Structure 1
Amino acid sequence: MQIQPTAAQSRLLEPLISPPRLAPFLSAAGTPTAAMELYLWNVRLSAAFGEVIALAEVILRNAMAEQLAAAYGATWYARAELFDDRTMNGFKTTWRNITLPADPATRKTVQKTLQAVPAGKIVAESTFGCWVNLLDKGGTRGDGPYRKNVDYDSTLWRKALHKAFPNSGGKRTTVFTTVSHVRSLRNRTAHHEPLISGVPLPGQADSRGRTRRLTLPEAHTNVLRLVEYIDKDVATWLGQTSRVPELLRARP
């Protein structure tokens, strides 16, 4: 069932959503009634994108974690020598935020150790950005005279992660570009931002100096492409069942 307010209900809804949030939709649609219709379409589209992104993200995390564990052991995320500071800070934050249940026998909180914390919790609770960072080229570790460059191409990618993406052509930069686009889309939909003008790509500009944007069909293709890098059959199925194309055709 879709949210379809009456005219009276729309008038009640407008101030609760707020004029600033509705402003882009009013500019695009021209009238308050049309703006509300466009806004609700945006809500439905975000939800549809969220479905395919949710599946793509879990598939991505599990594929990467499987190969990292095969190459570096079950507790690969604790191998500080593998990562730059940005990545390690991400895993440290994940570790701090993990809570373990109390021991039923003693009613005391179980001590948080590498043995006690299932690897799956690290995989599930690390941010999407942390997984994207693992596909970047790598940064630095340490400060001052101890500062060292970390090359993810020669370690994480060549020794492990390229196996997670058998249909990508074997280039880390190809996968990183696609997953970065998916992250931009994910962040936009998760924060209920307007999609009506496409998906802005932070730090990228066109020839006129404007923020580069993905069209909505391009954004959808990027999600499917990311899954295809891992499994072509699943990507085909996801493309056939996604609600996004239908909603794009139904834009008010």
Structure 2
Amino acid sequence: MHTSPVPDPAQFFGDSRFSTYHTAAGGDTSLAYDLYAWNARLAGAFHEVLGHAEVAVRNAIDTQLRDWNQQQSDNPRNPGKTFTDQWCIDTAIPLHGLVATPLKKARNNAGAAKSSRPSSHARKHAEITHDDLVFQLSFGTWNHLVPWPNSKPTPQLRLWDEAVKNAFPGIKPGIEGLRQVKAPLNNLHSLRNRVAHCEPLLHVEANRRLQDIARLTGYIDQPIADWIMGQQRVRDVARERPAI
């Protein structure tokens, strides 16, 4: 609980940002600061477990896209071409159209990361690899690759049927399996954006979002899900919310 004098909220936050906490605290400025500090702790706790979930999803989908990409050959736009498993570098259609923009940003970010390495870094002069680019792709990219259920035929739906669904062996067959993945994945993408931009989490249902993480990662591999949930501290922090 905050006990020392609080700074001027208009100077620290700006009135519009602070008003969310001030209103929730019933006009009590000190309590509003306590809520803000708690919100930051909850964001930190979510950031940890969301990071674990993102890595699990990213690696699972990447594995399937590697297999799919190297199987694409004699594409109408590239007659006679044989693709490798390095889909971030040598991207087959229709995947190319889905990831062209995020891959451009990933290349820029990977290049900046390479330039910022100290001279003593083991990979200071190494070429940018497929893995470097995968690491730079955002959570939103993986969410975008999973289509909404009942959507009309789209490149995402084709890729789901041919590759992405195999990243989640624990799901049910058909459209029900797509629903199982898309709903929690989209929820977690939205939550991650709120956490990353330091937005208020006062109305986030922490237990439901943890269930999303457990279910989504469990569809990939149950031991992975169990390990991730064993690391989370969201429930403990959520219980520390200042009383209003």
Q: TM-score, normalised by structure 1?
A: 0.74
Counterpart among 166, 171, 176 of residue 168 in structure 1: 171
> Which of 131, 149, 153 matches 2:157?
153
Match for residue 34 of structure 1? 31
- Which runs of 5 or more residues in structure 2 are unaligned? 71-84
The answer (yes or no) to whether the contact 1:175–1:226 under 8 Å persists in 2 is yes
1:136 aligns with 2:147: yes
1:110 is displaced (CA, Å) by 7.2
Query: Which residue of the other structure, out of 227, 236, 243, is the alignment partner of 2:217?
Result: 227
TM-score (norm 2): 0.77
Per-residue CA deviations over 1:77-126 (Å, capped at 9, x if unaligned) read 33241237453222233234432569x9xxxx979xxxx43110111011
Q: Match for 1:62 among 53, 59, 63? A: 59
Question: Is this contact kept in 1: 2:87–2:130, CA < 8 A?
Answer: no
CA distance in 1, matches of 2:47, 2:216: 15
Cα distance change of structure 1 residues 69 and 18 upon mapping to structure 2, 3 Å threshold: same
CA distance in 2, matches of 1:120, 1:7: 47
What's 1:143 paired with?
none
Whole-angstrom distance in 1 between the partners of 2:54 and 2:221: 13
Name 1:177's counterpart in structure 2.
183
Over 3 Å counting, the alpha-carbon distance change for 1:243 and 1:160 in structure 2 is: same
Task: Judge conservation of contact 1:7–1:33 (CA < 8 Å) in 2.
Answer: no
Matches of 2:10 and 2:38, distance apart in 1: 15
Contact 1:137–1:151 (8 Å) recurs in 2:
no
Aligned positions of 1:77-96 closer than 5 A:
77=88, 78-83=90-95, 85-96=97-108
Instruction: Say whether the 8 Å CA contact 1:83–1:150 is kept in structure 2.
Output: no
Cα contact 1:25–1:35 (8 A) shared by 2:
yes
Structure 1: tracts of 5 or more residues without a match: 139-148, 199-214
Aligned alpha-carbon RMSD (Å):
2.7
DSSP 3-state at the match of 1:124? helix
The match for 2:196 is 190
